[in-house]
Structure 1
């Protein structure tokens, strides 16, 4: 169900482009679901299940949109929509009461020569 809701929210933001020639074998939805599967699992591109399309096609769409800034534009628009509906809390809390440094960052001896 989350896939469907996410795709429906993204659909108006997707680039519209009809290429002349043969119709695509895989739908944009399948390819985007393949990209989402890969980024969610962290698996190699070659392990993307075939139900999402051939891995080369899924990767090709991902890289093409990455080079053209499409993913950044989609993220920006989704964040703007969510923020206008009050769904995003922009509070950040950082706790830095303990910050440990590596021993070499504290001036420890290096190869027998102390600084």
Structure 2
């Protein structure tokens, strides 16, 4: 049974070629189980130590995540997924950023410390 935060068979098959193989010879956690744990962790926002036991020891998941992040595994997966979506026309690369919601601290605009008493002119201030 696939749970809500777990990878489907199609998703798993898509990323399988980019997963590094173990070179150590000792038995380790199944990559699918680890990936499902990593996906669950980031979709729920939980701490590593609060991972459900069905994904295996949290320290093993965290170690595998850090190793795959450091060696570029996740970046290769992302680039491949983007290329596939781009080739099939599933991606619209138009991006719009609305800066009206960006908040800045008053000092980011060069305001003087001390508030209005420190102002030397009567000109209104704006960010």
Common fold: TM-score over 0.5 = yes
CA distance in 2 between partners of 1:66 and 1:99 (Å): 30
Deviations 1:51-106 (A, max 9, x none): 11110000010001111111111111111111111111101123346766543345
Select the residue among 46, 50, 62 that pairs with 1:47. Answer: 50
**Who is 2:24 aligned against?**
19
> In angstroms, what is the RMSD of aligned CA positions?
2.4
Query: Normalised by the size of structure 2, how large is the TM-score?
Result: 0.73
Q: 5 Å matches for 1:66-81?
A: 66-81=69-84
Whether contact under 8 Å (2:33, 2:55) holds in the other structure is yes
**Deviation for aligned residue 1:17:** 3.5
Select the residue among 50, 57, 62 that pairs with 1:59. Answer: 62
Q: Which has the larger radius of gyration?
A: 2
CA distance in 1 between partners of 2:21 and 2:92 (Å): 31
**Who is 2:7 aligned against?**
3
- Change in 2 beyond 3 A, CA 1:62/1:107: closer
**Who is 2:125 aligned against?**
none
Specify the SS of the correspondent of 2:81.
helix
**Who is 2:123 aligned against?**
none
Query: Normalised by the size of structure 1, how large is the TM-score?
Result: 0.80
CA distance in 1 between partners of 2:106 and 2:23 (Å): 58
